[in-house]
Structure 1
Amino acid sequence: MKKVPDGKYLLTDNKILVNNKTNKEEVVLNQLIQQRNTSILGYKLRLQMYNLAKKNTDSIFRAKYSANPEKYKRKAKWLSKKQVDRLGKSFWYSGIHSFLTRTGEPPVIINETKAQKSAQRLKAYYFNQGYFDAQTKFSVNYNENKKGNIKYTILTGNPTFLDTISRQIETPVLDSLYLVSKSKSFLKQGNQYKESDFNSERARITSYFRNRGVYNFQQQNIFFDVDTIQPNKRANITINITNQTFKDGDSTKTKPFKIYRIGKVNVFTTDLSSKTKTQNADSVKYKNFNLYSTNKLRYRPRAITNAIFIQKDSVYSDENRALTLRSLSNLRTFNYPKITYVIDTVTQNLNANIYLISKSKFNFNSNFDVTQSNIQQFGIAGNVSVSIRNIFRGAEILELGVRGNIGSSKDLANPDNRFFNISEIGADIRLNFPSLFLPFNTDRIVPKYMFPASVISSGFAKQKNIGLDKENFTATINYNWTPRKGVFTKFDLVNVQYVKNVNTNNYFNVYGSSYNRLNSLAKIYNSDTSILNQNGDGNLSIENGGTDAFINNALNGGYPALNTSSLDYQSIKSINERKTRLTENNLIFASNFSYSQDTKFDLFDKEFYSFRTKVELAGNVLSLIGEIANQPKNAEGVKNIFGLQYSQYVKTEFDYIKHWDLNNGNTFAIRSFFGIAIPYGNSKSIPFSRSYFAGGTNDNRAWQSYSLGPGSSGGLNDFNEANMKIAFNAEFRAKIIGNFNGALFADLGNIWNVLDNETDQTKIFSGIKSIETFALGTGLGIRYDFKFFLARLDLGFKTYNPAKETNQRWFKDFNWTKSVVNIGINYPF
């Protein structure tokens, strides 16, 4: 309380009583001009920081040495006098107090004048809700310890309800338009009076008229008469819509509004390189559109007109103007399209002039990044790309890119002990079309107001010392469109991926956990020294094929002491099956459809939900080709295409996220996820690239990536994955100080095997019983908001670990030494 002046009082609480009941609604609390100091879980941190700050630090510093000249002389011997004098400006003497003052929050002193204004604002708020007789007052309770609180008392009285609703519209054509939309009015007989409904109705009428040809209409042409001199708290409403006002010399006159139609639609294209910006060197007339260009027109007329929603002889519409601007911008070919309207004095129609400035045909980009991930501790990545616009004169964009990456990983095999032991190089080609690239017209199926687009892409990447030194080829043909705002759909007609493992002999160097388990069993059963390392350490040789030799001997009866029904035999068999699966080449020929919906209005929207679902089918086309060709199965019972076994499966996912705004910078967010991929036909398991993993900075944060599950198996492998995943996340986010935010979270979920060739019961999902194998992680986090992105640090604790014995699962790893630190960018969901 030392920063509260004598005779003043710190505001500790605002209490609002509405009709003798406490009201804590944010919209009501926001009417108060004076708010108490902010707090975190009841503790006023920023106020305490402000109280710690000292004022006049220069005077304090000088007084310190004035009272002790000898101390000044001693310090000046090893520092110059100038440096000693500058200590008063240092962080410890001055800067820290300046920081505490800036970051902290001064005490909120009770001000009765502001309290009176707050009471008036409360009265105005309830008046706008229809409580025309509302009465407000306040009282201040002063305590002896320089603290006090304010109580606001509101008696609302009875609300007023809308009775007769009539209209007075001066322009007859507007009166007819209004009657058509009257049923959608926000003003309904019997509703309680609310000022917000009148504002919404004014905006609705304006939008309705302007989208039906009334080009000059404005909101100020609408006003409401409210007759409250009625018994029983009823109000008669008159909607008044005046004629258009215009200037005639020095006088103001009025005239009826007019519904305008579109006359000419003129499109003016200008090249950035053009020396003249006004003269038109080329012109084309195409389907009621007039196209002009300062140079020879570089576009097929349809490429431009197909993006224009303004049509000749149609009624003027604000919506069509907005759709046209958005559609032209989506072409990524023009700089900031502009549309103006001019009234034709002869026809009295509106001529639309659309101005387009072409972007450069070629655009070069290069990026350089320093990266970090769960596998790669340090990496340097870069890419160079070129975009060629309007390559076929239809506003298409061809993108060519080359990318590369070198990095360091302590987790992967590195026999030469090199720092940069990871590398990747790749090339991509991508062709974008501003429509659905199909041999037939799709306008009736996907109209152009859904902004359809197509992408044909292909890419190749070669990895070195990442896993098994993979070569990856991809090719896609996909279509996407937006049925309505916030809804996005995507259809991959073709999605091909071919993964070739180049260095399969490196398997046990990469997957160290599998090697350690295998090596421990070899020390029990193996007596053949030829398959061991030559250095005499007694371990299985990897480079010389000792691991594979031991597996072959074990599975083919080479060790009499190894019982084929024993757990050790099953463990060796499981290691071999996983090795076979992860080293085999994969050919995935799939199609998929995804749908997403997001109600988030903008980046600052704190209350919204999003939903995403996806269905993928793979291998069916290749299976049909195999059936038609009467292709035989190989010894393993599967069919090959070009000597490769193709994957066949169905995969589906559901992802739901919901955010609630809890006021005062607090937010509560949840996420639920379910995904399953079921192999069938030509496959008994899912390709590694299409499987699920658990743990990590955006998942269950008490476990590292790939370390959780499957089921209760305990994450025995280096990269644990399965074909089914269930996850639930909840997070409470709160503002701390300035741009610093905090979070408390709980993450629940796991991965399992289901309907595939897995035989280990600890990994298999078996219905309700498997609920006990859900993993629960809880923790806390701190975030710093840079406005354009958010840096995040989360600390996760294993609260319930299904990998332990039943009586050891709860809180046994709940301590600081076994916590998991997650560093990420932006929120996890």
Structure 2
Amino acid sequence: MKKLFPKITLIFLTGTIFYSCSIVKKVPEDGQLLTKNIILANDTIVKNERIENLLSQKPNGKLLGFPLRLGLYNLAKDNPDSLYYDWLNRKPNRRENLAKLISNKQVDRLSQSFLVSGLSRFLKKTGEAPVIINKIKINSTKNKLKGYYENQGFFNTEISAKIDSVGVKKAKVTYNIITGEPSYIDSISRRIETPEIDSLFTNIQSSSFLKSGDKFNGNNFDLERARLTNYFRNNGVYHFQINHVRYDIITNERDKKVDVVYDIEDRKIKREDTLAKTPFKIYKINQVNIYTNNNSRETNKITDSVSYNNYNIYSNGKLNYKPKAITDAIFIEKGKLFSDLDRSLTSRSLSNLKVFNFPNIEYIEDTLSGGSNKLIANIYLSPLKKKNLNASIDFTHSNIQDFGITGNLSLTFRNLFRRAETLEITTRGNIGSSKDLANPNDTFFNISEYGVDAKLTFPRIFFPINTTRLIKKEMLPTTQMSFGLTNQKNIGLDKENFTGIINYNWLPKDNTTIRFDLINIQFVRNLNIDNYFNVYNSSYNRLNNLAQIYNTNPNNLDEYGDLTFPGAITFIDEVVNNQTALTSDQQDYQSIRSIGERRKRLIENNLIVSSAFTFSKNTRKGFLDNTFYAFKAKLETAGNAISLLAKRKNEPLNDNGNNTVFGIEYAQYVKGEFDLIKHWSLGKKNIIAFRTFGGLAVPYGNANSIPFSRSYFAGGSNDNRGWQAYSLGPGSSGGINDFNEANLKIAASVEYRFNIFGKVNGALFADAGNIWNIFDNVEDKSYTFNGIKSLQDIALGTGIGFRYDFDFFVFRIDLGYKTYNPAKEMSQRWFRDINFSRTVLNFGINYPF
């Protein structure tokens, strides 16, 4: 070790010197590389993203402390084409000899090739030029900082900047800010020339952002300006604009007091060559005209019109819409005051009909009807095509099929019943190839799936009882009726799946959505139950291993001594009926019975008739908003209504002792779940993202388990990334089934996201959670939730992710590792699977949460 230490020290020093020299490789001799900005406010270091964004110069970006992009830029040659010609002309015959192999033209084109200059262009584009300290930009930063602090009420702020060398051609800049004492608002008064504006001002004066005694803050003046403008324009003041709100600010430097005077002058209008003042007026809507297929003001093309509830509806052909369908979506009404809010609601509501393009709404002053202060609202609508046909084709690959072709054909009918209804009919089909499935005829496409869906949308609540008092039209309610039929061949047990849903959606607030599923019917019919042990191969292998010990019936075995698939079913029955040496108090007996019960549950046809209520709230204000939260809660019940029908029909019980309807056992359960996502922006494209989820489905009445399609699973690219989908849990069982599922789930994830360079981003993540059985027919303690002590079975997966942002979507690769594995013995659970060879690779589109 003593001999190695000098060598390690030498390598370290050599690397440090090389790094120090290479990083300033392209810094001019009279320049200095900016390595750090320090902001001191009253001798305290400031780390505030808003203030840091005022800096005109920032150091080169770093990845794990190393300026990677600067390093790439330094690798590029400055004039690669000139260097190429210098090399070419260095020897007199070099150009001629090269021209013999290609041509003179190609010799010149080599200067622009990737190997000669293209690589350098790529490195410069991908990299980042060194940030050279610039005194002009330092002065610009000082001015910005001074403006910022003055806006916060520090009117005597003094700012100085100092450049300190920190190495060869490297320096840091320190900004020293002395703010002095802040100023406070003393008196507030107003000078408003229009009496109507003054009266409106008085109504909302108590809600002002400006209060006597508050510290001066320029942002509050902007908020107050916007508040007043919105209120005035929503109460009839049509011509009012935000720049009409001005302030006279009188400062007293000695007492650090500020007197504020609202200054709202009369409106200025141009008359010939002069500007004249006129008081603001409060306008009412005198007429509302709706042009259903005419985007111009050419009234000579109008051939059909109707007046309905004080609305004038025009068309340049036959009017194809029932008047009520359009007027119900309009909030601008005759006799109401002009309101920006009404215009905004009208635009959203008409767009929500999905039969028109975004509407154009114009206001003009009514000068013909007598009087003043009247507006005519003209609403111009451009219809979408009544029929629309779309087709698409995709090539796919999944864990089920090695190669697949999927096609979709969609036909849309708009304004179906002349009340803005929309009918969408979609047919889809898939053919695929899988080498893992039985294929006696050696057919390449040995998998198929096809289906048809129909969805009818009403832009209102379609219900026998009037709901407008509870769900107002401002909430943009819609009703959807959808029906679907799917048929699968050579996929799992082969299925026919029928769905029928009637649901209602409305928006009680801008960031809140409510969905009520009045009825959701799903009928799943398994067509190939004999294929069960082919699909659930792990169950077969466990059963086959036990049969080697306990099976006494040679008819259950094939020529190799393994259970045949029919023999496997017979063996289960023999064990359960005590026809083998196993007794019910033995663990192997319980395992075999569990395999049999699971098989019965998964091969049964499922009939689920449910209702659900879903509440969603999302505070995100745009794609670039990285500080927000999203919350979703859902309550679902199934089987209650259909149980009443079952009692009336009085059909015989099935083999499980449960009620049936039309010979099919129906599911009965109650299910609740919540999902919370929270993002925090740390600045500079650094984000902390957190998600937590909890769900519980409890069977009762006619069921002692949850249908597979309504159960929970763990693992996968959007869940715990240390495990593959369906491979985690339940509990500490170790995921021994092919598709592990249960009726209780707890999960939480946290992810630190950062930018590497350009559109390449990275993430460090930790995912925790598991699934358990509870309140159902599973009794194995390793599967079930047994109180607080079961929380020690929460699995932890950690890892690193890489993402590339294509603007319209993000491609994601996550490398997950089993950090805490509850399937192992207590002493073996931590860090035993963190090995590159045990990486769980996850691919995904967009972020996991």
Cα distance between partner residues in 2 of 1:6 and 1:406: 67
Return the alpha-carbon distance in structure 2 between the equivalents of residues 381 and 197 of structure 1.
56
Distance 2:821 2:145 in 1: 52
Q: Give the C-alpha shift of residue 92 in structure 1.
A: 2.8
Change (3 A) 1:69 1:803: farther
For residue 42 of structure 1, report the CA deviation from its aligned partner.
1.6
- CA displacement 1:651-677 (0-9 Å, x = unmatched): 011000001111011111000000110
* Aligned residue pair count: 822
| Alignment-derived partner of residue 98 in structure 1 | 121
**Residue of structure 2 in register with 1:503 after alignment:** 528
What amino acid maps onto 1:513 in structure 2? Answer: S
Select which of 504, 512, 534 maps to 2:537.
512
Paired residue for 1:23? 46
1:550 paired with 2:550, answer no
Structure 1 contact 11–109 (Cα < 8 Å) conserved: yes
Aligned with 1:265 (options 285, 288, 296):
288
Read off the aligned partner of 1:322 and give its amino acid letter. Answer: S
State the partner residue of 1:340: 362
Whole-angstrom CA distance in 1 between matches of 2:637 and 2:72: 59
Answer yes or no: is the 8 Å Cα contact 1:385–1:399 preserved in 2: yes
Matched-pair contact (CA < 8 Å) for 1:271–1:295 = no
Whether the aligned pair in 2 keeps the contact of 1:412 and 1:467 (CA below 8 Å) is no
- Classify 1:670/1:710 alpha carbon distance in 2 versus 1 (closer, same or farther; 3 Å): same
Match of 2:750 in 1: 730
Give the CA deviation at 1:294: 1.1
Q: Distance in 2 between matches of 1:235 and 1:298?
A: 62
**Partner residue, 2:489:** 464
> 1: CA distance between counterparts of 2:629 and 2:439?
45
**Which residue of structure 2 lines up, in the alignment, with residue 33 of structure 1?**
56
Q: Does 1:619 align with 2:608?
A: no
In 2: Cα distance, 1:279 partner to 1:638 partner: 68
| Rounded Cα–Cα distance in structure 1 between residues aligned with 2:299 and 2:599 | 66
Distance across 2 between alignment mates of 1:485 and 1:118:
39
Q: Give 1:374 shift.
A: 4.5
Where does structure 1 lack aligned partners over 5 or more consecutive residues?
Answer: none
- Quote the Cα distance in structure 2 between the aligned partners of 1:604 and 1:31: 19
Q: Bigger CA drift: 545-554 or 386-395? A: 545-554
Amino acid in the other structure paired with 2:725: S
The code of the aligned residue for 2:364 comes to V
- For residues 479 and 514 of structure 1, the distance between their equivalents in structure 2, rounded to whole angstroms, comes to 42
Q: CA deviation at 1:131?
A: 0.2
Out of 649, 657, 675, the residue aligned to residue 655 of structure 1 is 675
AA matched with 2:383: S
Task: After superposing the two structures, state which structure 1 stretch, 150-159 or 356-365, moved more.
Answer: 356-365
Q: 2:245 aligns with which of 216, 219, 222?
A: 222
Where 2:252 maps in the other structure, the secondary structure is coil
Which shows bigger deviation, 143-152 or 671-680? 143-152
> Shift in Å at residue 336 of structure 1?
2.5
Aligned-pair distance for 1:73? 8.9
State the shift of 1:158 in Å. 0.7
Moved beyond 6 Å, runs of 4+: 68-82
Select the residue among 721, 741, 750 that pairs with 2:741. Answer: 721
1:21 and 1:77 map into 2 onto residues whose CA distance is 70
Matched, 1:768 2:791: no
Kindly indicate whether the alpha-carbon contact (under 8 Å) linking 1:435 and 1:452 is maintained by their aligned counterparts in 2: yes
- For 1:308, the equivalent position in structure 2 comes to 330
Quote the sequence identity (%). Answer: 52
Q: 1:731 to 1:116 in 2, by over 3 A?
A: same
Residue 126 of structure 1: how far off its partner (Å): 0.2
**Partner of 1:424 in structure 2?**
449
Is the CA contact (8 Å cut-off) linking 1:374 and 1:705 kept in structure 2?
no
Question: 1:102 Cα shift?
Answer: 0.8
Q: 1: distance between equivalents of 2:440 and 2:74? A: 59
Kindly provide the amino acid, as one letter, of the partner of residue 490 in structure 1.
R
Q: CA deviation at 1:642?
A: 0.7
Q: Deviations over 1:670-711 (max 9, x none)?
A: 000001100000000000000001111101111111111111
Residue 719 of structure 2 aligns with an amino acid whose one-letter code is D
What pairs with 1:385-424 in structure 2 (closer than 5 Å)?
Answer: 385-409=410-434, 414=439, 418-424=443-449
User: Is the contact made by 1:11 and 1:149 (CA closer than 8 Å) also made in structure 2?
Assistant: yes
Matches within 5 A, 1:573-584: 573-584=593-604
Alpha-carbon separation, structure 2, partners of 1:554 and 1:757: 19
Q: Distance in 2 between matches of 1:82 and 1:166?
A: 79
User: Is the 8 Å Cα contact of residues 455 and 479 (structure 1) preserved in structure 2?
Assistant: yes
Deviation at 1:525, TM superposition (A): 2.7
Distance 1:510 1:72 in 2: 68
Match of residue 115, structure 1, among 138, 143, 165 = 138
Secondary structure of the 2:573 match is helix
The TM-score with structure 2 as length reference comes to 0.94
Structure 2 runs not aligned, ≥5 long? 1-23
- Determine the C-alpha separation between the residues in 1 that align with 2:403 and 2:471: 45
Question: Match for residue 695 of structure 2?
Answer: 675
**Are the aligned partners of 2:651 and 2:661 in contact in 1 as well (CA < 8 Å)?**
no
The question of whether the paired residues in 1 share the 8 Å contact of 2:159 and 2:176 is answered with yes
On the 8 A contact 1:701/1:795 being kept in 2, the answer is: yes
What do the CA deviations read for 1:45-66 (whole angstroms, capped 9, x no partner)?
1111111111222333344455
Distance in 1 (alpha carbons) for counterparts of 2:571 and 2:94: 78
Match of 1:480 among 494, 505, 512: 505
Determine if contact 1:676/1:723 at 8 Å carries over to the other structure. Answer: yes
Separation (CA, whole Å) in 2 of partners of 1:177 and 1:581: 68
Q: Do structure 1's residue 644 and structure 2's residue 668 form an aligned pair?
A: no
1:298 equivalenced with 2:320 (yes/no): yes
Residues 20-66 of structure 1 deviation map (CA, whole Å, 9 limit, x = unaligned): 00001011111111111111222111111111111222333344455
1:318-397 maps to which residues of 2 (within 5 A)?
318-345=340-367, 346-348=370-372, 349-397=374-422
Q: 1:416 to 1:42 in 2, by over 3 A?
A: farther
For 2:711, the equivalent position in structure 1 comes to 691
Corresponding residue to 2:188 among 165, 188, 195:
165
How far apart, CA to CA, are the structure 2 residues paired with 1:413 and 1:68? Answer: 69
Q: Which amino acid aligns with 1:455?
A: Q
Asked whether the equivalents of residues 483 and 499 of structure 2 are also in contact (C-alpha less than 8 Å), the reply is yes
Q: Distance in 1 between matches of 2:440 and 2:738?
A: 18
Letter in 1 for 2:371: T
Which residue of 2 is the match for residue 666 of structure 1?
A: 686
In structure 1, what is the Cα distance between the partners aligned to 2:722 and 2:616?
29
Whether 2:458 is the aligned partner of 1:436: answer no
Residue range with higher mean Cα deviation, 745-754 or 633-642: 633-642
712, 731, 742: which one pairs with 2:732?
712
1:278-322 deviation per Cα after TM superposition (whole angstroms, max 9, x unaligned): 422111111111111111211111000000001110111000001
Instruction: Check whether the contact 1:413–1:510 (CA below 8 A) recurs between aligned residues.
Output: no
1:516-535 aligned at under 5 Å gives the runs: 516-533=541-558
Question: Within 5 Å, which residues of 2 pair with 1:43-192?
Answer: 43-64=66-87, 86-192=109-215
TM-superposition CA deviations, 1:536-583 (whole Å, max 9, x none) = 3322223xx2222222223223333x3443222222111111110100
Instruction: Using the TM superposition, give the Cα deviation of residue 634 of structure 1 relative to its aligned residue in structure 2, in angstroms.
Output: 4.3
Instruction: Tell me how far apart the structure 1 counterparts of residues 103 and 590 of structure 2 sit (CA, whole Å).
Output: 77
- SS of match in other structure, 1:455: strand
Distance of aligned partners of 1:684 and 1:238 in 2 relative to their CA distance in 1, 3 Å threshold = same
| Of 246, 256, 262, the match for 1:233 | 256
The CA distance in 2 between the partners of 1:133 and 1:144, in whole Å, is: 35
- Scaled by the length of structure 1, what TM-score is found? 0.96
Q: Which amino acid aligns with 1:559?
A: T
